[in-house]
Structure 1
Amino acid sequence: MLSFEEKIAVMDSFPELQRKDVSLGRVNYHYEQSAFDKKMVGFHFHPNGNGFIFAGRFEGYETDDKGFVNVRDYNAEQLRTLVAESIRSLTGEASPELQDGEEENWTGPNGSSLSVKYEDDMWYIFAGLNLDAAFETYQEAFDYLKEEGFTRK
């Protein structure tokens, strides 16, 4: 487990984050260039070891109901990776490595499935051969699928 000072040093190493000291010795970090209302990347880093990183716009981490991951037991590399992913997710341009014409599959409630296809600079969601939705960014498609209870296969 990193000390409070070590965690703060990792967070401070991201020049795009703005440090905000809050009550009880805690520190928050904001990403002011966020494309979304959500701007907080780091939340309540405390000398007792607790600290939280926002991961609510991407998969792979167990989050609380507000989308934050407790990083109390993270090492420096894990923390740095998560912070970079958090910032990237807030740019509004997070996208997978899909090329034009490629697709990815998602599974939803009751075993239903949808596919996301990138074509002509748009992100299309299909239910079989039927078009379900279209979005200008992958992040919009991702958010839609998550809200509907789908997960990537």
Structure 2
Amino acid sequence: MLTFEQKLEIIESFPELTRKDVSMKRVNFHYEESLYDKKIVVYHLHPNGNGFVYVGNLPHYEADAKGFVNIRDFSDKELRSIVADALDYLSLEPEPPYDKTWTNRDNEKLDLVYEEPFWNIYTGKNLEESFGTFSDAEDYLIDQGFKEPK
């Protein structure tokens, strides 16, 4: 496990980040150029080594409900990688709007709509299901016998 000082050194090597000292000797790092309202990349890095990095809904990380991953036991390489991924995530343009009606054999219709950060399935105006990724929503629709419009 990296020490607090080692984690600070790695995180501070990203010039895009701005350090903000907070209570109980914890440190946050902000990305002021974020294309989103979310600016905090590193949250509550603590002298005991605990801390979190925001990855939103990136599929290759197991984030909590708020999009943060605990970095307590991360290696140098893992920490560099997750911070770089977080910066990429916050600097990419949002996905283009997706709002398509899927139909089954009985001509029943469900609408799949991307509403950051979720892929929502509606029956008319009623929310039926919500997913974190397009792939999960697509799998659900296909399992239910629906096909994507051409």
Same fold (TM over 0.5): yes
CA distance in structure 2 between the aligned counterparts of 1:66 and 1:83, rounded to whole angstroms: 16
Structure 1 residue 58 displacement after superposition: 1.5
Aligned equivalent of 1:109: none
Paired amino acid for 1:91: S
Structure 1 residue 23 displacement after superposition: 1.2
CA distance in structure 2 between the aligned counterparts of 1:66 and 1:144, rounded to whole angstroms: 13
Structure 1 residue 125 displacement after superposition: 5.6
Q: TM-score, normalised by structure 2?
A: 0.68
CA distance in structure 1 between the aligned counterparts of 2:86 and 2:27, rounded to whole angstroms: 17
4+ runs of 1 displaced by more than 6 Å? Answer: none
Paired amino acid for 1:40: I
Paired amino acid for 1:57: N
| Correspondences of 1:64-79 after superposition (within 5 Å) | 64-79=64-79
Aligned equivalent of 1:149: 131
CA distance in structure 1 between the aligned counterparts of 2:112 and 2:35, rounded to whole angstroms: 21
Identity of aligned residues (%): 45
Structure 1 residue 124 displacement after superposition: 4.7
Consecutive unaligned residues in structure 2, runs of 5 or more: 104-108, 121-128, 137-150
Aligned equivalent of 1:18: 18
Task: Name the count of aligned residue pairs.
Answer: 122
CA distance in structure 1 between the aligned counterparts of 2:130 and 2:25, rounded to whole angstroms: 39
Aligned equivalent of 1:87: 87
CA distance in structure 2 between the aligned counterparts of 1:63 and 1:94, rounded to whole angstroms: 19
CA gap 1:133/1:81 in 2 versus in 1, 3 angstroms: same
Over alpha carbons, which structure has the higher Rg? 2
Asked if structure 1 preserves the Cα contact closer than 8 Å seen for 2:101 and 2:112, the reply is no
Paired amino acid for 2:74: Y
CA distance in structure 2 between the aligned counterparts of 1:86 and 1:150, rounded to whole angstroms: 17
Asked if structure 2 preserves the Cα contact closer than 8 Å seen for 1:57 and 1:89, the reply is no
CA gap 1:51/1:150 in 2 versus in 1, 3 angstroms: closer
Aligned equivalent of 2:63: 63
Aligned equivalent of 1:115: none
Paired amino acid for 1:26: R
CA gap 1:150/1:65 in 2 versus in 1, 3 angstroms: closer
Task: Please give the per-residue CA displacement for 1:113-151, whole angstroms capped at 9, x wherever unaligned.
Answer: xxxxxxxxx565655589x578xxxxx777342793153
